A and B are shown apart, each in its own frame.
Chain A
Amino acid sequence: MSEPHRVKVVAAPPALAIETSGLTKRYRRVTALSECSMVVPEGRICALIGPNGAGKTTLLRMLAGLAAPTAGTASVLGGTPRQDPAFLADIGFLAQEMPLYRRMSAADHIKIGAHLNSRWDGESARARLLGLDIPLGRAVGTLSGGQRAQVALALTLAKKPRVLLLDEPVAALDPLARRHFLGTLTSAVAETDGALTVVLSSHLIADIERVCDYLILLTRSQVQLAGDIEDLLAEHKVLIGPKKDTGALAATHTVVHTTTTARQSTLLVRVGGPLIDPAYEAADISLEELVLGYMGASAAPAYAGLTTVAEG
């Protein structure tokens, strides 16, 4: 188990749903996203994690063609995000506030969608909402937050997108509504048999652990970590051992984060080879530890000397 997943069946590399290179967004004084380079393979449910203000919304909005990058490029399904029906037809975007026309009903929205989209499956949206006992005829402004989120999601799915971008979709929902929302989402992904790629930003590690299989970690407007969650978990270990110089260790492995007490050091390392130092006890890492480790590494500049973060 201490061996990283090095040996893999050689297969054709999976098609990329999303690819960004040096993607940067600056507002007047603030850099919202800096030199973001990452990929999301097709068919994944990718978690976009990061503290507030890390640039998650900015990244999603640029991928959806709502905002233009200051520098760098983004490619979604092989095309540059833009205000073009051909591009927009493949994109589903759900903003955090789940914007809908409050005075209109879900049925109205389904009808609007049919007028605004060349590819539209209003029937599935209607069936999905009826299955959830959501009144189709009531103004969406009078629905509960969870119901509204379901309406917004059903409308987004009715577009039959190939890439679904969800900005904090469950942040405002109670646990039950959250579960139902994620159930709708995962069902939709299952129905498409790998043709739908999802990027969803969230703070809730437990949800991510159950729903997502890919991870992008943004902190301070930069990508800290990106990859298949299982691979990432296999590549990282927690080492607990005496407080000592980590120079030898850092030669083979990447020390992401170190916490030290008077006698003991706890290291989060990205494994670069066999772990042979008997002074350390190696343990598998949970997703939460991994995420917190990388967030902590970037949050505390005092550790800068130790935190040589590997490319994602």
Chain B
Amino acid sequence: MSWLVWRQYRAQGAIALALLAGFGAVLIVTGAQMASQWHSGLASCAASGTCAKLAQTLSLGSPLGRDFVLLSNLVPALLGFLWGAPLVAGEVEAGTRAYAWTQGISRTRWLLVKAGWLLLAAAAWGGAVTALTTWWYGPRNALYASAFQPNTFDTQGIVTVGYSVFALALGVAAGALTRRTLPAIAITIGGFIGMRLLISEVVRQHYLTAVTAFYNPLQAFAPPGPAWTLQQGVMDKYGQVFTGGNGPEVNGVPFSALPANCQKFIMIDPGTMTKTSLHAAVTCMQASGFRGFVTYQPASRWWAFQGIETGIFLALAAALIAAALVVVRRRDA
């Protein structure tokens, strides 16, 4: 059975390796450039003592490298529809299921071995891609402290392995269900993008309870390290949150929401606030119980989040393979 998988997919495997090689070449070239930029930047800022402002002065990475890294977002979906969708649907369309499913092995074994090897290959491929991108991101992570931001989080670490396995499983399940490759491809792409958006936009921030820090609104505050800031703003003593809006405002708090005794500092002309009047207003707000707050996921949780997200996609993949198995076993060939 394994030999059949090898024989059936060796051409695609070669193509995948070639693509990986091309991808790797671009990343290694641009990554090496970026690393040398980073090191010379560090050296010169150490000489001039301006390393604290390095993020503003140094621009890292070529657009080509960044485009390629963003492209790696699509890599799993590619696996899903190139390998996953035709796994069952292709055999149905070519009629070869009548051949494959009347040989001396059960359909369960046929699907498990075939999907198993491809899932392994997908994991390996995703692993190789993410190893490249993670290395590529090294200087940027150090400079911009952005490893936890959506998009950069999604293209480094171990999540790509989970995405790849999930996309392949989704393709297999969609192909088993529709029995036609093209609709299965559409479902795979749609389902993959949909699930990725759902997880990254809605679910991810709730993996662990976010930390909220309060601070003096007169001072600026940022969570330490490459944390993921979910919300930042001002809260009054009743817990109402203000994060800015339309119209005149003070530190994100609308003029109308200010206590009357604080409004007077800028009542004269809300449109032309001076630094002094603003400072007076904020001091008054602080006295009335207004606090600055920031809700964030600390940088230390980065690997935990990577692990949780990978786990979620692996679990989804397992469920999809189980569903495909049920469909293939139950339905007439």
Cβ of B329 under 8 Å from chain A: yes
Size of interface on B: residues with Cβ below 8 Å to A? 24
Q: Is the CB of B332 within 8 A of A67?
A: yes
Q: Is the CB of B333 within 8 A of A115?
A: no
Q: Which of A80-88, A251-259, A292-300 participates in binding chain B?
A: A80-88
Q: Of B94, B103, B108, B329, which one neighbours A88 at CB under 8 angstroms?
A: B103
Known: A85-B104, A88-B104, A101-B96. A66 touches B333 (CB 8 A): yes
Residues of B within 8 A of A89 (CB): 104
Minimum Cβ distance to chain B for residue A262 (Å): 51
Cβ of B32 under 8 Å from chain A: no
Residues of A within 8 A of B105 (CB): 85, 88, 116-117
Residues of A within 8 A of B108 (CB): 83
Q: Is the CB of A99 within 8 A of B329?
A: no
Residues of A within 8 A of B106 (CB): 83-85, 88
Minimum Cβ distance to chain A for residue B74 (Å): 27
Q: Is the CB of B104 within 8 A of A119?
A: yes
Q: Chain A interface secondary structure, helix, strand, loop or mixed? A: loop
Cβ of B44 under 8 Å from chain A: no
Minimum Cβ distance to chain A for residue B201 (Å): 40
Minimum Cβ distance to chain A for residue B87 (Å): 14
Query: Could you mark each residue 101-132 of chain B with 1 if its beta carbon is under 8 Å from any beta carbon of chain A, else 0?
Result: 11111111000000000000000000000000
Tell me, in angstroms, the Cα distance from A194 to B107 when the chains sit together: 30
Number of inter-chain CB pairs below 8 Å: 75
The size bracket of the interface on A is: 20 to 34
Q: Is the CB of B102 within 8 A of A65?
A: yes
Minimum Cβ distance to chain A for residue B82 (Å): 16
Q: Of B7, B97, B329, which one neighbours A112 at CB under 8 angstroms?
A: B7
Tell me, in angstroms, the Cα distance from A120 to B333 when the chains sit together: 24
Q: Give chain B interface residues in 285-333, CB to chain A under 8 Å.
A: 329, 332-333
Q: Is the CB of A66 within 8 A of B104?
A: no
Q: Is the CB of B98 within 8 A of A66?
A: yes
Tell me, in angstroms, the Cα distance from A152 to B2 when the chains sit together: 21
Known: A66-B332, A111-B3. A159 touches B99 (CB 8 A): no
Minimum Cβ distance to chain B for residue A141 (Å): 10
Tell me, in angstroms, the Cα distance from A104 to B99 when the chains sit together: 14
Tell me, in angstroms, the Cα distance from A233 to B8 when the chains sit together: 50
Minimum CB distance partner of B7 in chain A: A108
Q: Is the CB of B4 within 8 A of A115?
A: yes
Question: Which residues of chain B have a CB within 8 Å of any CB of chain A?
Answer: 1-4, 7-8, 94-108, 329, 332-333
Complex A-B, nearest 9 residue pairs according to Cβ-Cβ distance, in ascending order: A99-B95, A67-B332, A116-B103, A117-B104, A66-B333, A95-B98, A93-B102, A89-B104, A99-B96
In the complex, 24 of the A-B residue pairs with CB atoms within 8 angstroms, ordered by the A residue number, are: A61-B98, A64-B98, A66-B98, A67-B332, A83-B106, A83-B329, A85-B104, A85-B106, A88-B104, A88-B105, A95-B95, A99-B95, A99-B97, A99-B99, A101-B94, A108-B7, A112-B4, A112-B7, A115-B3, A116-B1, A116-B105, A117-B103, A117-B104, A152-B99
Question: Which residues of chain A have a CB within 8 Å of any CB of chain B?
Answer: 61, 64-68, 83-85, 88-89, 91-93, 95, 97, 99-102, 104, 108, 111-113, 115-119, 152, 159
